[in-house]
Structure 1
Amino acid sequence: MRFAASVLAGCSLSLAACATSPTVPPAPGAGDIELPADFSAGYRPPPGTDEDWWKGFRDDRLDELIELALTENLGIAATRERLEASRAALRAERSDLLPSLDGGASAGIDADADGTADRLSIGVSGFFDPDLSGRLSAEIEAAAASAAAAKYLVADRRRIVAAEVARQYIELRRTGERLKLLDQSTELQERTLRTVTLRFEAGLAANLDVRRAAADLARTRAQRGLLELQRSQAAHALDVLIGRVPGGTPAVPDTADGVPGFAGGPPRGTPADMLRRRPDLLVAEMGLVEAAAIVGIERSDLLPSLSISGQALLGDGSFSGIVSDFLASLAASLDLPLFDGGRRRAEVTAAEAELAARFAEYRQQVLQVMGEAENALVGIAAFEARSRELAIAVGESERAFEQSNALYREGLANLFDVLDSQRQLISSRESQIDSEAALATSIVGLYSAIGGPPGIESAGAA
């Protein structure tokens, strides 16, 4: 066995030194895409003190839910397992550069007319590919790119999960506020209905007014079921995101009040920064590296390949002769591609076309990601302006309702004015809550688009 190992190790040192590998084409990537210096939308988030962008909402429950999801989410767990599988596959590819040895032994007793005879032999065989064509190196490069992509997939799943937890939490808070507003609106309309009923009983109002007030109250009450459904759906989605059976512990404490506002977070960066830190773009970039390596694999088939095999056998077939006879053999096989009808070159062309196609898809993905960021930036500015105007609308609607209600009680206004001002007040309050939730969701969309959460490690050590 020592003889076979030394022979193959010697071949490894001498032949690997003189082996030539085909050139794997350089993989295109972010450096081959011309990007603007900054996003066209002028909004910049207020500065924060923590790289975890969700902490800018200053909501302890949201922080707890996201941290729990990043630890317990089953989708993240699956990507981590696939990362381990890709790393194991890379180790397997690297092992092909080393000699392989296999040992064996056989023993038995033969019986014939002359009596019995024992037999025994021990042997070891080895194989070594010095990678003369460079195929093994290209395969290792492809496996390394796949392992790096698997690492970025873990980071991308974290990005998606963190953003989705924040969105569902905002939806919980929105529907919670809408339900509180529904209770307030119902109480307001019940008071109006009582006032109208009393005036009708006193002969100061028509029965039509009572029916109109009752209809408005019924329409408001009818919203409860839909809001409760939306709230339950958000709560169940949060349960799934944190790896729990839907319908478990309430995700939002009863003391929660209002849609969370954003105080500040990490800088948004530039489009070039986004390419360096958004994980799914890094996954796509590793796909380009892998595709370039596959081109190298196909090109290696155009070059000669060399393989070396050896065998050592100890024993002459009998127990007594086990140490007396020794046989060793060493062989080399050189494969020279001569004629295949153009198959190998066609496979190279196909691999090169696939690399070009992946680069086009990568560029398309970059444009889509930039579109996400731009939409989020525009959305933030729009909903900020909308929320400011709606705050004014709510204030004015409150004063208008109070005045119309007072005039109606004095007989100086009709019920239509009261109900109309009441509807406007309720609608303005609902719109204000929805706009605040949309603003918070747009901020989540911005940080999801530009890359967070942080924690992407270099894939070079994969």
Structure 2
Amino acid sequence: MQWNRSACAFALIAFSWTAVSGQTLQPEVTAKSLVDMALQRNREYLATKARVTEAEALLRQAGIRPTPSIEIESASGKLLGSSGDSEFSAAYFHTIEAAGKRDKRIQVAERAKQVAEAEVDERRRQMTFDVKTRYFQAFTEELKVAAINRLIPVNRENYQMTVSRVELGDAAPLEQQLLLTDVNRSEAQKAIFSARSDAALLDLKTTVGLSTSDSLRLPPSFVLEPPTLTLERLTQYALQNRPDLRILAALEEQASAEAEQARSEGKPDLTASARYTHTNLRFDQLGLSKTGAVVPLQNHENVATFGLAVPLFTSKRTEGAVSAAMARTTQAELRREHLLQTIPQEVEAAFRRWSGAQRTLQILKSGVVEQSEKNLIVIREAYRLGQLRLFDVLNEQRKLIETQLAFVDAQAEAAQALAELERAVGGNLP
């Protein structure tokens, strides 16, 4: 009877890892919901989005034309003893931009806006990878804690049963010591996995933007959606959608536009002007008025003046700015060409990592985990019949736990590989 009870207790060890107690983990958050939460809370991402608003404002500013000016002057000779002399003038000045300066400013601002938008997409790509990586890490550690929590009650029950058997003389004291060692080993593993789980969960909260006091429950399981495209199609998709590649292309175009703007700044602007002048002059001589009266001589003049001002400088004045812009163009071009070479390699490496992780999962599930569970059942039955020692059962039990933990690690590797593949292609898989 006692042998049957012991055998039943050992039978509880062969548990399934695909189901987790609903009281331990609640299906409240997913990787996608955490990514959305991070995009709403993360200050660095929000600051990057604010740069788009800044670029839009600068684009509007770039389209503003030079402001015309009005000049009004009044002159009087009273202060210097010429009370009869005075002059009034009003002038209008208008700057005419040459060499399409306004259009070139707008082109530079448009490229800057494209850079800012691509930087937002790039930050979103990196943040999605960071959140998913930490999510899968936290999920893996919680799975390990749940596995050990299921094992500890079984070990304790077996230990208590063996203590009773030792007291009755049905078992050797060595069996009691072996089971006690196994119980303590499980408790030590639980402490390690619990600490790792807490640290991983805190790291996830920090990345998402939650405080340490916020509650965060992970679901009991997650489903990985494998890519449906071939490696060649994924590579093409990455070359078309990678935001970091779009950033470099926009920077190259922006630098080229800045070079054109610098060249246009080497062409002088024109300033057109129009002036009206009214002058009153009084002379010491006397003359006759229309009525024949003797009056001082006076002169009244109305003059209209038109002018065109041109600054005197040559195109050499902006040669330094042009050279600097061309250097930035070369830098962006070289970096873009380098990224064009490395993107296919990154996609292929991530794709092969994902494929290898999938094969590992399949092998562990069908050829290792299931077989280890069957082996434990056979060894347990042999122990019940007295053909094997308790040490053999404990050894096989530890092998099963190690195998199950390896299976959890393989699941984590597959999830990490999929997240890496998503980052390599530029976002969510098509």
SS of the residue corresponding to residue 126 of structure 1 reads strand
* Partner residue, 1:424: 399
Distance in 1 of aligned mates of 2:356 and 2:331: 37
Q: Which has the higher contact order (CA 8 A, sep 6+)?
A: 1
Q: In structure 1, what is the equivalent of residue 68 of structure 2?
A: 101
Give 1:148 shift.
Answer: 0.5
Residues 206 and 359 of structure 1: CA distance in aligned 2, closer, same or farther (over 3 Å): farther
Q: Tell me which residue corresponds to 1:176.
A: 142
Alignment-derived partner of residue 94 in structure 2? 126
Question: Deviations for 1:246-283, whole angstroms, at most 9, x for unmatched residues?
Answer: 4313243xxx322x122456646342331211111111
Partner of 2:423: 448
Residues 160-309 of structure 1 aligned to structure 2 (within 5 Å) = 160-203=126-169, 207-252=173-218, 256-258=219-221, 260-263=222-225, 267=229, 269-297=233-261, 299=263, 305-309=267-271
| Secondary structure at 2:310 match in 1 | strand
**Equivalent position of 1:85 in the other structure:** 54
Q: 1:378 to 1:191 in 2, by over 3 A?
A: farther
| Structure 2 residue corresponding to 1:333, chosen from 310, 315, 327 | 310
For the structure 1 residues 325 and 102, does the alpha-carbon distance in structure 2 shift closer, same or farther, using more than 3 Å as the test? same
Q: Tell me which amino acid in the other structure corresponds to 2:53.
A: E
| Residue of structure 2 in register with 1:369 after alignment | 343
Q: CA RMSD in A?
A: 4.1
User: Equivalent residue of 1:309, what SS?
Assistant: strand
Contact 1:237 1:246 in 2 (8 A): no
SS in structure 2 at match of 1:173: helix
**How far apart in 2 are the matches of 1:328 and 1:86?**
43
One-letter amino acid of the structure 2 residue matched with residue 359 of structure 1: E
- 1:398–1:272: structure 2 CA closer, same or farther, 3 Å change rule? closer
Equivalent of 1:66 in 31, 35, 53: 35
Q: 1:427 Cα shift?
A: 0.9
Aligned mates of 2:313, 2:413 — CA distance in 1: 66
Q: 2:375 is matched with which residue: 379, 389, 400?
A: 400
In structure 2, the CA distance between the partners of 1:60 and 1:244, relative to structure 1 (3 Å rule), is closer
Q: Following TM superposition, by how much is the alpha carbon of 1:451 offset from its aligned partner in structure 2, in angstroms?
A: 1.8
Indicate the SS of the match to 2:63. Answer: helix
Contact 1:305 1:334 in 2 (8 A): no
Cα distance change on mapping 1:236 and 1:368 into 2, 3 Å: farther
Distance 1:120 1:413, change over 3 A: farther
Answer yes or no: is the 8 Å Cα contact 1:152–1:280 preserved in 2: yes
- C-alpha contact (below 8 Å) 1:405/1:418 kept by paired residues: yes
Question: Are 2:36 and 1:76 equivalent residues in the alignment?
Answer: no
Q: Mind listing any 5+ residue stretches in structure 1 that lack a counterpart?
A: 1-57, 319-323, 456-462
Aligned length, in residue pairs? 379
Query: How many angstroms does 1:309 deviate by?
Result: 2.1
Q: Could you tell me how far apart the structure 2 residues matched to 1:305 and 1:86 are?
A: 27
| Shift in CA distance, 286/113, structure 1 to aligned 2, threshold 3 Å | closer
1:267-323 Cα deviation digits (max 9, x unpaired): 46342331211111111111111232344345557xx612122455678799xxxxx
Deviation at 1:239, TM superposition (A): 3.8
Q: Deviations over 1:122-158 (max 9, x none)?
A: 7654323212xx6665444333222111111222222
Deviations 1:381-420 (A, max 9, x none): 1111111121132222222223333433444322331221
Residues 310, 328 of structure 1: 8 Å contact kept: no
TM-score normalised to structure 2 length: 0.73
Highest CA radius of gyration, 1 or 2? 2
Cα separation, partners in 2 of 1:364 and 1:209, compared to 1, 3 Å: farther
Q: CA deviation at 1:364?
A: 2.4
Residue-by-residue CA offset, 1:192-225 (whole Å, 9 max, x unaligned): 4335434544556554544443333223222334
The aligned counterpart of 1:31 is none
SS at match of 2:68: strand
Q: For 2:400 and 2:327, how far apart are their aligned partners in 1?
A: 62
Indicate how the Cα distance of structure 1 residues 153 and 200 shifts in structure 2: closer, same or farther if over 3 A, else same: same
Judged with a 3 Å threshold, the aligned counterparts in structure 2 of structure 1 residues 266 and 390 are, in CA distance, closer, same or farther, namely closer
Matched AA of 2:67: S
- State how far apart, in whole Å, the 2-side matches of 1:338 and 1:245 are: 58
Cα distance in 1, alignment partners of residues 124 and 38 from structure 2:
9
Shift of 1:327: 6.4
User: Take 1:215 and 1:144, find their aligned partners in 2: how far apart are those partners?
Assistant: 70
Is 1:142 matched with 2:111?
Answer: no
Matched, 1:382 2:356: yes
TM-score (norm 1): 0.68
Kept in 1, the 8 Å contact 2:267–2:315? The answer is no
Q: 1:413 to 1:454 in 2, by over 3 A?
A: closer
- Kept in 1, the 8 Å contact 2:422–2:429? The answer is no
Contact 2:252 2:329 in 1 (8 A): yes
